Structure 1
Amino acid sequence: MLNKFLAHIQSEIAQLSYGEKPKELYEPISYLMKLGGKRLRPALTLMAYNLFKEDWETATKPALAIEVFHNFTLMHDDIMDEAPLRRGKATVHEKWNRDVAILSGDVMLVAAYELLSEVPDARFKQVLKRFNRTAAEVCEGQQYDMNFATRNNVTEAEYIEMIRLKTSVLLGFALELGGMAANQDVVVTNQLFEIGENLGIGFQLKDDMLDVYGDPEKFGKQVGGDIIENKKTWLMLKAIEKSKGKPEEKELKEWIDKKVFNSEKKVAAVTDIYNRLGIHELAEAEMNIYFKKGFDGIDGFPVAEERKTMLREFGKYLLKRDR
């Protein structure tokens, strides 16, 4: 069934029309949307709707709104990060230019609202309010992430809150939206949001681990990128904490402070420090806390067990994924 959802989403994305002229405004949107991606968020919306009703296709356009919004954030994030590549292809600001990427991203946000308006009229005000709050939180998370780059005293709790805002609230809203589209009450939709929020934090912690320990052939991007950039991931913050008063403290600081270095050597050296400090095991334990909360939420969710099977399997996929 999940593959059916994903195939349906992919087909519908291919048929989306954002506008025609001027082509410099609309072509970048189609270009970015055709680059692919996991399509996890719209799948969650359809999955949540299908917990209650069989006609899940009716939730397609609201589900696509989540995907268009997500890609809008990626387009603007790439500008801020000055990233040359997105999914192995030139980013929009590289292929066109920065101004085009900003403006095309703005149109994507408008398109997301248009798709979102396809929810039942009786729930539109509630959906709009929740989407606006979620969109603002994603921006808050991005700002915290940028703030962390110039701070040396970031705590683990701050990092978890940052990824909750930047990544997991949108996964939570994707599930919540499916419940709202299926006309469920606020108690139920809140439960769906919490499930997605916890799975989302676990998902990002898994991503952080894959960045260090993933197979580059499967992961799809450079392994060790976070180490090269001195990104304050949970693993880095825990390594700084656990190395206090140990030989690894000086080693780690030297690699963080180096301005000129061989990337491969830095990744190998910092990964070795992580291994000596047991960081991988600690990160896995932290990740499992949030996945367990998500699975507990699924277990206690008030629908028949057989209707929850796909959501539970989806959570297991996020936990076990290697890319």
Structure 2
Amino acid sequence: MSPAVFIEALQQELQLTQYGQYPPELYDPIRYIMSLGGKRMRPLMTLMSAYLFTDDWKKAVRPALAVEVFHNFTLMHDDIMDQAPLRRGQPTVHEKWNPNIAILSGDVMLVRAYELMLNVDADQLKPAMARFTQTAAEVCEGQQMDMNFETRWDVTEAEYIDMIRLKTSVLLGYALELGGLIGKADAESVAHLYEGGVNIGLGFQLKDDLLDVYGDPAKFGKQVGGDIIANKKTFLLIEALEQASGSVKEELTDWLNRSEFDKAEKVKAVTTIYDQLGIRQITEARINSYFAKGLKNFDQIKADAARKDFLIQFTQQLIERES
């Protein structure tokens, strides 16, 4: 089995899926954001986790698409809150149309995600829907925490980890859990799929924080240093504020408090402080720890060894990506 088989199945279903036609202002934005691509990591993980337990993995395609539609719904609304002009290199929905259209189209996406979830077999539908609903609420909780952090300078490392767990990681965990439920896996394996996804998701988000400072712009796909320029409370900044003392603390605080500055100069100065404090090494160690936990979770799944290795190898390929 090749990942290309799962990707092709998803692409075919994406092309066939109808969200609605009239009024076009409501449905065109949905087709637009869903056409912008992305890694499709979450639905792929759903299909791969279903394949661990059943040859009939294609019955997971439409529920997997539900996860992807929900994910893009959150992106559409997040872009409004962040006033982001671009998504995957293209104008965001609220820029291309307007914020009200983006809000309403996002609402319909959430409805359609639930509709797609109804394709889960009847005997697994109730637990799948219950967990989907819980996960959806947790993603909103994480987004609210992230917004709360914008006006706080006392955010702790534990709070930050909890925020990214809710905002980004629980949906990856659910995507894997969903595949296990559809494949009628044992409860222990379903739990390992979920925990593995959450741990891998935490590693991905911390890696994203790290690449924002130390990544290759050609590979990273967005401006390096953007988090530093925006004073975004990332793992690196929170760790630096905890580790710094004396003149280093004063210099870091000064850069954070400046309202006018040269962007390149600020990025260079704060990165130098991170280097002095060993923040890169601390972050890399935490990233590797979460990835190791996630892969250990996957190794404990009770499934065919070859299929399990396939999931693990695919995850390792994702881990090694620089974008």
Residue 287 in structure 1 maps to residue 287 in structure 2: yes
Q: Name the TM-score, length of structure 1 as normaliser.
A: 0.97
Residue 19 of structure 2: aligned partner: 18
Residue 66 of structure 2: aligned partner: 65
What are the residue-to-residue correspondences of 1:262-273 with 2, within 5 Å? 262-273=262-273
Alignment partners' CA distance in 1, 2:127 and 2:320 = 34
What are the residue-to-residue correspondences of 1:156-195 with 2, within 5 Å? 156-195=157-196
Task: Give the drift of 1:220.
Answer: 1.0
Q: Name the TM-score, length of structure 2 as normaliser.
A: 0.97
Alignment partners' CA distance in 2, 1:320 and 1:276 = 26
Alignment partners' CA distance in 1, 2:94 and 2:168 = 23
Task: Give the drift of 1:271.
Answer: 1.1
Task: Give the drift of 1:316.
Answer: 1.2
Alignment partners' CA distance in 1, 2:9 and 2:273 = 45
Alignment partners' CA distance in 1, 2:53 and 2:79 = 37
> Mind listing any 5+ residue stretches in structure 2 that lack a counterpart?
none
Task: Give the drift of 1:315.
Answer: 2.2
Task: Give the drift of 1:27.
Answer: 0.3
Alignment partners' CA distance in 2, 1:312 and 1:93 = 38
Instruction: Let me know the Cα RMSD of the aligned residues.
Output: 1.1
Residue 32 of structure 2: aligned partner: 31
Residue 248 of structure 1: aligned partner: 248
Comparing 53-62 with 127-136, which one deviates more in the overlay? 53-62
Structure 1 counterpart of 2:100, one-letter code: D
Q: Is the 8 A contact 1:14 1:34 kept in 2?
A: no
Q: Is the 8 A contact 2:165 2:201 kept in 1?
A: yes
Structure 1 counterpart of 2:39, one-letter code: K
C-alpha deviations, 1:224-277, integer Å up to 9, x for none? 1111111111000111111123x2211111111111112222112111111121
For residue 47 of structure 2, give the secondary structure of its aligned residue in structure 1.
Answer: helix
Task: Give the drift of 1:304.
Answer: 2.6
Q: Is the 8 A contact 2:189 2:300 kept in 1?
A: no
Structure 1 counterpart of 2:140, one-letter code: C
Percent of residue pairs bearing the same amino acid type = 57
For residue 38 of structure 1, give the secondary structure of its aligned residue in structure 2.
Answer: coil
Q: Which runs of 4+ in 1 moved over 3 A?
A: none
Structure 2 counterpart of 1:67, one-letter code: E
Residue 51 in structure 1 maps to residue 52 in structure 2: yes
Q: Is the 8 A contact 1:2 1:310 kept in 2?
A: no
Structure 1 counterpart of 2:10, one-letter code: I
For residue 63 of structure 2, give the secondary structure of its aligned residue in structure 1.
Answer: helix
Residue 212 in structure 1 maps to residue 213 in structure 2: yes
Q: Is the 8 A contact 1:298 1:308 kept in 2?
A: yes
Q: Is the 8 A contact 1:28 1:104 kept in 2?
A: yes
Paired residue total: 322
Task: Give the drift of 1:314.
Answer: 2.3
Task: Give the drift of 1:11.
Answer: 2.9
Residue 275 in structure 1 maps to residue 275 in structure 2: yes
Residue 318 in structure 1 maps to residue 318 in structure 2: yes
